[in-house]
Amino acid sequence: MAASRLDTLQSVELADGVEIQLRVAGPAVRSTAWLLDLLVFLLALVLLELALAYTLAKAIGEDMTQGLMMLVMFVMNWFYNVAFESSSRGCTPGQKWMKLRVISLNGGPVTISQAILRNFLRVIDFMPFLYLTGFLSCLFTKRFQRLGDLVAGTVMVYTDPPPVTLPKTHVNAERRAPPIPLSREEQAALQQFLERAPNWSDERRLELSGILQPLTGAVGMEGLHRLVGMAMWIQEPEAEAPSPPPFR
């Protein structure tokens, strides 16, 4: 029960009305991925420091080697996550092991600017200690976003594809001729509506059909039924139906 509350399927509506579903990751699995990345980070840091100590200490001196180690530590600390999350995979080694990745809210890959913004704000999410601010932000946001995610417009999701859900509204419309003549562009627009409507949310379909109330003469589900019926008639007029309206 707790797991279902922490890791849920969230719907996101894109600008063109298409609704996608993201299986967002909760604080528990994200914390595990962070601990794994911490182990990888520390191991890589130790190996790099040993390599620098054995290869450069005699050539440039211990002081220069120590300064170079501090520089390497600084770069890794700030850009470890940025480099991995802005890559084509969109995930760090720890996130990959937990089958997670970071994406934009529109479902696309993370840009370099988003990755930088998201990870540079870890300083605030870490406050006052052990990512307490980020943990509380995850608990009180719909998509379990820490402050860095909210500012950068990113979200952490599972790489497993979410289950496909069919549209909630079933429209069983009968073919009907439009009450007025329609131009080629208007008929093409109705056919595009018929093709793309199954990928839209119920709210968007009702919203668009409501705009065409002057054509359908109805709003709500009745208006949607009439609009779909007209689109079906234009796509394949019935033999007994009146002749198609002339083009304007």
For the chain, the structural domain boundaries read 2-158, 184-235
Which stretches in the chain have pLDDT values below 50? 1-7, 166, 239-248
pTM, full prediction: 0.64
**What is the model's pLDDT at position 1?**
37
Is the Cβ–Cβ distance between 166 and 180 less than 8 Å?
no
Alpha helices in 86-162 (DSSP H): 93-97, 112-120, 122-126, 132-139, 147-152
**What is the model's pLDDT at position 30?**
94
CA dist 80 to 106, 114, 176, Å?
A: 24, 14, 60
pLDDT tens track for 63-83:
888 888 899 899 999 999 999
Is the Cβ–Cβ distance between 231 and 190 less than 8 Å?
yes
**What is the model's pLDDT at position 210?**
87
pLDDT tens track for 8-26:
667 666 655 566 778 899 8
Q: Which two tokens stand for residue 197?
A: 């409507």
